[in-house]
């Protein structure tokens, strides 16, 4: 039997000693519970039953919560943040997740007034802007952002090809000239949202759009000022050129007023 599985004592709801939660893990659970209560405004019913099932791979805690019982998994899937998924209709960040988090870290400890740490995971930052849990599709999109950020190191120069999955409904077979367009940022992106800003700009240049739920996120977490300034100058240069070109081509045209009517 796996050492990860809980003893009968703990199955019966006894203290969690065998989980050996590290202080940092307790802090993460407190922060997660606080996020669910205060930011999402969740209020679980009193006395919801928790039956701990297993701690798997050391980074996930699974339990049955409530009646009818839902299977809840809390995990450290992204850095030092806890995320929760559930079999209920809400799918994630629900009352069942809250009940389990507060079961693992007793409420007295949770109410000591700990300050929620600066959200470090992309999902947590986006949730804090949207003030609601992410849908399954949105989570998948954020996972995609994270995955691209992880691979950035392999590319000395990114192209639209690498960030193509971040476009909404892109054409199945775009031309090479689209995929080869550079994705540029004045300094290397330091997180997934910064990477997304660079991707968004490159995708917009080839007339591809990014999903609407990211608009609020883009406003709350704008690109670094140095990027905005560099991009502003780039844009000014491009549109000044266009204005000059347009002015030249316009001057070749006869003004409308001078066009002579056919006899």
What's the closest the beta carbon of residue 26 comes to Zn ion, in angstroms? 22
Stretch that binds Zn ion, among 38-46, 73-81, 87-95, 246-254 (CB under 5 A): 87-95
Residue 29 or 94: the one with the smaller Cβ distance to Zn ion is 94
For position 181 contacting Zn ion by CB under 5 A, the verdict is no
For position 178 contacting Zn ion by CB under 5 A, the verdict is no
Stretch that binds Zn ion, among 4-12, 81-89, 119-127, 232-240 (CB under 5 A): 81-89
Residue 61 or 94: the one with the smaller Cβ distance to Zn ion is 94
For position 86 contacting Zn ion by CB under 5 A, the verdict is yes
Torsion angles phi and psi, residue 74, rounded to 5: -105, 135
What's the closest the beta carbon of residue 95 comes to Zn ion, in angstroms? 6
What's the closest the beta carbon of residue 71 comes to Zn ion, in angstroms? 9
Cα four-point dihedral sign 98, 40, 217, 142: positive
Residue 74 or 86: the one with the smaller Cβ distance to Zn ion is 86
- Among the listed residues 2, 30, 4, the one whose alpha carbon sits nearest the alpha carbon of residue 19: 4
Tokens of 241: 């050129």
Return the percent helix, strand and coil in the chain, to nearest 5: 50, 10, 40
What's the closest the beta carbon of residue 57 comes to Zn ion, in angstroms? 22
Residue 132 or 245: the one with the smaller Cβ distance to Zn ion is 132
For position 94 contacting Zn ion by CB under 5 A, the verdict is yes
What's the closest the beta carbon of residue 83 comes to Zn ion, in angstroms? 13
Which runs of consecutive H residues, i.e. helices, occur in the chain?
A: 8-11, 23-34, 95-104, 107-110, 122-130, 136-152, 160-163, 176-179, 192-205, 213-220, 225-252
Stretch that binds Zn ion, among 51-59, 67-75, 77-85, 215-223 (CB under 5 A): 67-75
What's the closest the beta carbon of residue 80 comes to Zn ion, in angstroms? 23
Cβ neighbourhood burial of 197 (10 Å; 0-12, 13-18, 19+): buried
Tokens of 122: 């992309």
What's the closest the beta carbon of residue 45 comes to Zn ion, in angstroms? 12
As a whole number of angstroms, the distance between CA 38 and CA 125 comes to 15
Q: Residue 179's Cα: distance from chain center in Å?
A: 24
Stretch that binds Zn ion, among 62-70, 156-164, 183-191, 227-235 (CB under 5 A): 62-70
Tokens of 11: 């199955």
Residue 67 or 157: the one with the smaller Cβ distance to Zn ion is 67
- Among the listed residues 131, 124, 67, 146, the one whose alpha carbon sits nearest the alpha carbon of residue 99: 67
Question: Cis link prior to 61 (omega < 30° from 0)?
Answer: no
Stretch that binds Zn ion, among 2-10, 93-101, 183-191, 204-212 (CB under 5 A): 93-101
Cβ contact 32:81 at 8 Å = yes
Cα atoms in the Cβ-side hemisphere of radius 13 Å centred on 240:
6
For position 96 contacting Zn ion by CB under 5 A, the verdict is yes
- Return residues touching Zn ion (CB under 5 A): 70, 86, 88, 94, 96
């Amino acid at each position: 039997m796996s050492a990860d599985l809980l003893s009968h004592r703990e199955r019966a709801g006894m203290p969690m000693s065998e989980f050996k939660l590290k202080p940092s893990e307790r802090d993460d659970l407190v922060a997660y519970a606080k996020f669910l209560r205060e930011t999402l405004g969740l209020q679980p019913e009193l006395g919801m039953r928790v039956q701990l099932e297993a701690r798997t791979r050391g980074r996930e805690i699974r339990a049955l919560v409530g009646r009818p019982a839902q299977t809840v998994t809390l995990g450290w899937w992204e850095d030092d943040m806890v995320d929760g998924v559930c079999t209920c209709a809400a799918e994630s960040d629900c009352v069942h997740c809250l009940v389990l988090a507060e079961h693992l870290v007793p409420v007295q400890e949770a109410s000591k007034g700990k300050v929620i740490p600066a959200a470090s995971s992309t999902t947590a930052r986006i949730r804090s802007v949207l003030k609601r849990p992410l849908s399954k599709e949105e989570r998948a999109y954020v996972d995609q952002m994270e995955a691209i950020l992880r691979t950035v190191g392999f590319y000395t120069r990114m192209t639209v090809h690498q960030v193509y999955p971040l476009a909404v409904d892109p054409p199945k077979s775009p031309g090479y000239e689209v995929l080869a367009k550079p994705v540029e940022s004045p300094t290397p992106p330091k997180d997934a949202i910064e990477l997304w800003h660079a991707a968004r700009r490159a995708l917009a240049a080839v007339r591809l759009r990014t999903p609407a739920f990211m608009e609020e996120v883009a406003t709350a977490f704008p690109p670094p000022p140095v990027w905005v300034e560099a991009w502003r100058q780039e844009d000014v240069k491009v549109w000044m050129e266009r204005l000059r070109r347009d002015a030249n081509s316009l001057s070749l045209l006869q003004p409308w007023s001078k066009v002579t009517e056919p006899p």
